[in-house]
Structure 1
Amino acid sequence: MLFVDPTGDDSNPGTIERPFATLDRARQAAEPGDVVNLRAGTYRLTEPFLLTAADSGVVYQAYGYGTAVQEKVVISGGRQITGWRRGEDGVCRAEVPGLATRQLYVSGRRAARASITLDHRLTRTETGYVIDDPAPGAWQGEVEFVYRGAYPWSEARCQAARITGDESSTTVTMAQPAFGWATRLYQSVISWDGPGAGESNGADAPTSAENSPAFLTEGTFALAGGVLHYLPLPGEDLDDVVAPVLETLLHARDLRDVAFRGITFAEATWLRPSTPEGFLHYHGNGYYDGGALQTVTFAEGQGQVTVPGDSATMPGNVIFENVSGVTLEGCRFTRLGGVALEFRGDGADNVLLDSVIDEVSGGGVVIGSGARRHRLENNHVHHIGRDYHGSPAVLMSGTTDTVVAHNEVNDVPHAGIVVYEGRGAKVLNNLIHDTMQVLADGGGIYVAGSQGVSHASGALIRGNVVRDTITPYNFGLYTDYGAAWVTVQGNLVHRADSPVVLNVSPPLEHVAFIGNVWDADPGEAPEGVTLAENTTLPKEAFDDNPAVSDIVAGAGRVRPH
């Protein structure tokens, strides 16, 4: 047994009476089979906590884990902000030279970046925009333009490099290369009946602007010229203000058989959107980073879109790379600025269990290509995608035999659970509600690409409850873009635009919908799709139906293990 305490000393022997002070000192002392007990407090990191193969076989846990006296342990990448001065305008200011962050937390509450809606008349030019209004010429700070709905499923961010004005107008010069990339990427001709229909260029119409002191309202902040500006809520004190500064809290590579229990990972950021390259979101956690573009033409005259030839992906704030046998149990991932948790590279049999992921700027969990037999069970993922609204709660891409079971997913700006091409994914008995809150053309569960070579080796989507899929043009269970070898069985879909979609491009192949209960008729099945034993109920009949009750009883979280 080893012990760590924020008030300890790294020259101590690491006993309960004389604990270490830092995680890294405990790592150095730990041997396979050791349990590192973290005493209560916040462990503020100044650099990422790194683990390698030599650190295998160790358990890190909150002291008293699993008992009534479990202590609260936070691993933080944040910096406390002090030295506030209140101006006559009510704005509090703190000198923060060198600070780079995109988030701020006041007494644990997420403070939004100051923003305004761009309802001005804008004309796009080769270098930016001309605004038919002189007032924006007074905007100061590192202003960022947001493009919600650049595609119906996308939201982009680009920096303004310079803002100047005269008596009649304002000229905005946008940062390059992001602006040039955006004008080439977001070109579409969409002919179907849904958001984004018609010919458009998403760069024509930024929807909001952020991060100028001129935009401040109560409870919001702006970072400009080395000064943090914050307009407090009525009666709010500034004794506990934290700005995330690290982009990575934990990065584990090549290790085996490690556990983290009862630990909160908090306060990290992701700075890519603040660079001249911006954040040109495409789908899920993917974004365009230059390189080749492709034109995708849809079938039956539905139109075409320009897409990245290859996408970069938003990174995790907690990363496990090429690891196996890692268990994360009873943990919390909160106040994070990228993807909360990422399993990257080859690895097998990693587990996230009985944990909570919330208040995350980007995605919740990513399980990436090479992962085998990973399991996400009995977790609650909610209020993610707070800044990057295309981010899903759970994303699997290129995995084999991943199981996502008995989780609750809610309050998500786009899709809840996303399954890209892979093999043998099982999405079982999850409760997914209040998804698609911001962007369009997605679903509570979204599946795209081939999932195997037979129904036995393919994806199984079974026993899930999907309800309250909110924005227009969405589907409760969305099999899309060449999905193949998918069995969708015994699910309940309630209150979406449509329960499922059957006609997509490229078409579905070997997709079977069996024994589901939904509140709208999905229509006739095209070639490649099987519909069997499904039940369509009127919305008002859901409360008293035994089939509905059985599915509801089996979905969502169960008592912690």
Structure 2
Amino acid sequence: MPELFVAPDGDDSASGTLEQPFATLDRARRAARDLTGEIVVRLRAGTHLLAAPLELTEADSGRDGHRVVYEPFGHGTPGQEDVVVSGGRTISGWQERDGVWSAEVGDLDTRQLHVDGRRAERAGIEGLPGEVTITETGYTTDSTAPLDWPSPADVEFVHRGVYPWTEARIGVASVSRDGTGQTVITMVQPAFGRALDLYNSTWEGQTSRGPGLPTRVENDAAFLTEPGTFVLDRSRPGNHVLRYLPRPGEHPDRTRVVAPVLETLVRVNGARDVTFRGLTFADATWLRPSGPDGFLHYHGSGFYVGGPVSTVAFGEGASVTVPGETETIPACVTLVEVSGVRIEECRFTRLGATGLGVTGGTDVTVRGCDFDTLAAGGVVVSGGRAVLVEDNLVRRTGLDYPGSPGIALTDTDGCTVAHNHVTDVPHCGIVAGSGRGTRILRNRTAGTMAALADGGGVYLAGPQGDSSDAGAVIRGNVIEDTRTPYNFGLYADYGASWVTIEENVVARADSTAILHVYPPLEHVVYRGNFWDADPVGADAPPAGVVYEGNTTLAGEAELAAATAHLRSRAGLRTPRGVAAS
């Protein structure tokens, strides 16, 4: 079996043997093209820094029934080495003044920072000071505080709850004083103009237009008051300054500070029969939200980039404006139109967008991986066929873009999400948009919907097939602690059709489920489920819903005893670091 070796202290002019390893993954990728049979690229311990994304194409496929495998040295043995594939840059040259560290970082641009492996938050304040009014170009306030922002064009407004399921981000262009003594905050375009077009709603007789007032204001040196926070000052092009307020005990000579630089770590496009296993993918960012387009979130992993919008009514006197088209938050590791690719036992962490994205392709397996400390979601599958997402732990995701689901499927065919554990996420745990033949089986979700509203531990929307055989099956899942008000633990929504929902357990949600939605549910069966409260509408199910054989047990101990057989079969096959309830 041909073997190639890569080490952080290797040499790309070497032979790639154990004794003379290559220095880069890309050199090993090119060398693998000249080999035949089962090819294994073994990575030695340490951090493998990428100067550019690792790109695999069809030419990097396994051949003649064999695979190309990328794994740590000693994989599967007690001596397996720890390997990190990183798109980060270590920050040095710190100067300390008045307790704040600063470093000149050239043209470095990033939205995240990690200190000794811990995520540092961007410095910010809650809300905009003063008596604030929204205008066609931004805001006015009677407070003079914004005039003291050292770098106003680096400031970003966060708008949580524009819609209950939405959080937007829009940058400031400038701050000035007008002739009346008001402070004028001009927002970046086209983002702010698009926000005025997109975010319009009517609810209970109240009409709103635009993103509203910011709930948080971030990224200015004036906000550096909380230890463990940072700002990036880009006011001098090519001479950016990173500032960090250290936590007690941190010292610039002993503390490792890493700024993610690359936006993509690995991109596999059109390749077949490739395996990545046992690797950690870390330290990537996503810069688009810092630009003139901002981040105009709509729902899930989707955001608005301009174009037509329309108004959708969902009851008498209630409506929202929705985008005709959205784009999807990108992933830091991306599989595009691949076949037979396996991602196994890997960790995705400290990433500024989604962890893993699968677009198109077929026969993809994501198994036994950990996803944590992510700005967006864990796994997003769009348009894939026969994708298996199994036995993964997804937690602490959506840290910058909280509408992002832990695991999401859209326009897929024959895909299965099974035995995963999704916990500590700000919105939905597992989401399935329109698709065919989806299976969501024996997963656990806990601590979902921690920040935004109108979602659930498991959420489905749109048609799921054209018959019961081709439809979606949601079976054997345990959904607990769906946290914010206005949620439905197990949520079939927005015209979901051809769905069988059976033998699930739902406890400690605002509402367990809802049977009356708009557009209405069609060919949806709720059978053999256990809840601690009746779903909304269970007393009078609509015509498109069959509701039979379900059990409501309000007592926690009684519900736990009655569902022990279901709980024992749900969640991770290989538990690691989470407790089963």
Q: Shorter-chain-normalised TM-score: which range?
A: over 0.9
1:393 aligns with 2:403: no
Conserved in 1, the CA contact under 8 Å of 2:532 and 2:559? no
What SS does structure 1 have at the residue aligned with 2:568? helix
Alignment partner, residue 536 of structure 1? 552
User: CA shift at 1:543, angstroms?
Assistant: 5.7
Conserved in 2, the CA contact under 8 Å of 1:450 and 1:483? yes
1:335 aligns with 2:350: yes
In structure 1, distance between residues paired with 2:434 and 2:53 = 32
Conserved in 2, the CA contact under 8 Å of 1:136 and 1:165? no
In structure 2, distance between residues paired with 1:455 and 1:541 = 35
User: CA shift at 1:559, angstroms?
Assistant: 2.5
In structure 1, distance between residues paired with 2:103 and 2:352 = 22
Alignment partner, residue 43 of structure 2? 38
**Residue type at the aligned position of 2:292:** P
The 1:119/1:172 distance shift into structure 2, 3 A limit, reads closer
Conserved in 1, the CA contact under 8 Å of 2:553 and 2:559? no
What SS does structure 2 have at the residue aligned with 1:100? coil
After superposition, residues 43-82 of structure 1 pair within 5 angstroms as 43-57=48-62, 58-82=68-92
**Residue type at the aligned position of 1:398:** D
The 1:82/1:358 distance shift into structure 2, 3 A limit, reads same
After superposition, residues 408-487 of structure 1 pair within 5 angstroms as 408-487=421-500
User: CA shift at 1:492, angstroms?
Assistant: 0.2
Q: Deviations over 1:149-176 (max 9, x none)?
A: 0111000000000012479542101000
After superposition, residues 520-535 of structure 1 pair within 5 angstroms as 520-522=533-535, 523=538, 524-535=540-551
In structure 1, distance between residues paired with 2:404 and 2:558 = 30
**Residue type at the aligned position of 1:319:** T
**Residue type at the aligned position of 1:497:** D
What SS does structure 1 have at the residue aligned with 2:403? coil
Unaligned runs of 5+ in 1: 192-196
Alignment partner, residue 220 of structure 1? 229
In structure 2, distance between residues paired with 1:119 and 1:2 = 56
Conserved in 2, the CA contact under 8 Å of 1:137 and 1:171? no
In structure 2, distance between residues paired with 1:501 and 1:320 = 35
In structure 2, distance between residues paired with 1:214 and 1:426 = 50
Q: Deviations over 1:385-406 (max 9, x none)?
A: 0001111101100001111100
In structure 2, distance between residues paired with 1:372 and 1:439 = 30
Conserved in 2, the CA contact under 8 Å of 1:149 and 1:202? no
1:149 aligns with 2:168: no
Which stretch of structure 1 is more off in the superposition, 518-527 or 177-186? Answer: 518-527
In structure 1, distance between residues paired with 2:563 and 2:342 = 34
In structure 2, distance between residues paired with 1:457 and 1:535 = 27
1:365 aligns with 2:365: no
Conserved in 2, the CA contact under 8 Å of 1:123 and 1:204? no
What SS does structure 1 have at the residue aligned with 2:524? strand
Alignment partner, residue 504 of structure 2? 491
Alignment partner, residue 96 of structure 2? 86
In structure 2, distance between residues paired with 1:313 and 1:54 = 27
Q: Deviations over 1:169-203 (max 9, x none)?
A: 42101000000110111100124xxxxx8322242
Alignment partner, residue 406 of structure 1? 419
Aligned-residue CA RMSD in angstroms? 1.4
In structure 2, distance between residues paired with 1:302 and 1:356 = 44
In structure 1, distance between residues paired with 2:556 and 2:100 = 50
User: CA shift at 1:122, angstroms?
Assistant: 1.1
Alignment partner, residue 235 of structure 1? 249
1:113 aligns with 2:122: yes
In structure 1, distance between residues paired with 2:410 and 2:115 = 35
User: CA shift at 1:136, angstroms?
Assistant: 1.9
Q: Deviations over 1:61-100 (max 9, x none)?
A: 011111111100111000110000110x211000012011
What SS does structure 2 have at the residue aligned with 1:550? helix
Match for 2:170 among 158, 171, 174? 158
In structure 1, distance between residues paired with 2:182 and 2:164 = 30
1:279 aligns with 2:295: yes
After superposition, residues 4-23 of structure 1 pair within 5 angstroms as 4-23=6-25
Q: Deviations over 1:470-509 (max 9, x none)?
A: 0010000010000000010000000001111111000000
User: CA shift at 1:4, angstroms?
Assistant: 0.7
Alignment partner, residue 379 of structure 1? 392
In structure 1, distance between residues paired with 2:84 and 2:277 = 12
Q: Deviations over 1:262-294 (max 9, x none)?
A: 000000000110001100000011011011111
In structure 2, distance between residues paired with 1:341 and 1:176 = 30
What SS does structure 2 have at the residue aligned with 1:282? strand
Conserved in 2, the CA contact under 8 Å of 1:494 and 1:539? no
Conserved in 1, the CA contact under 8 Å of 2:471 and 2:499? yes
What SS does structure 1 have at the residue aligned with 2:468? coil
Conserved in 1, the CA contact under 8 Å of 2:176 and 2:183? yes
In structure 2, distance between residues paired with 1:202 and 1:442 = 22
What SS does structure 2 have at the residue aligned with 1:349? strand
Alignment partner, residue 194 of structure 1? none
In structure 2, distance between residues paired with 1:361 and 1:123 = 30
In structure 1, distance between residues paired with 2:183 and 2:230 = 24
Conserved in 1, the CA contact under 8 Å of 2:85 and 2:281? yes
After superposition, residues 91-106 of structure 1 pair within 5 angstroms as 91-106=100-115
After superposition, residues 247-286 of structure 1 pair within 5 angstroms as 247-286=263-302
User: CA shift at 1:542, angstroms?
Assistant: 4.0
Conserved in 1, the CA contact under 8 Å of 2:128 and 2:213? no
Which stretch of structure 1 is more off in the superposition, 252-261 or 168-177? Answer: 168-177
User: CA shift at 1:244, angstroms?
Assistant: 0.4
Match for 1:551 among 553, 556, 566? 566
**Residue type at the aligned position of 2:243:** H
Aligned residues: 551
In structure 2, distance between residues paired with 1:302 and 1:404 = 38
User: CA shift at 1:539, angstroms?
Assistant: 3.6
**Residue type at the aligned position of 1:349:** D
User: CA shift at 1:338, angstroms?
Assistant: 0.8
Alignment partner, residue 311 of structure 1? 326
User: CA shift at 1:119, angstroms?
Assistant: 5.1
**Residue type at the aligned position of 1:285:** S
In structure 2, distance between residues paired with 1:527 and 1:539 = 31
**Residue type at the aligned position of 2:163:** Y
**Residue type at the aligned position of 2:516:** N
In structure 2, distance between residues paired with 1:140 and 1:183 = 28
After superposition, residues 350-361 of structure 1 pair within 5 angstroms as 350-361=364-375
Conserved in 2, the CA contact under 8 Å of 1:288 and 1:310? yes
User: CA shift at 1:302, angstroms?
Assistant: 5.3
Alignment partner, residue 179 of structure 1? 192
In structure 2, distance between residues paired with 1:515 and 1:190 = 35
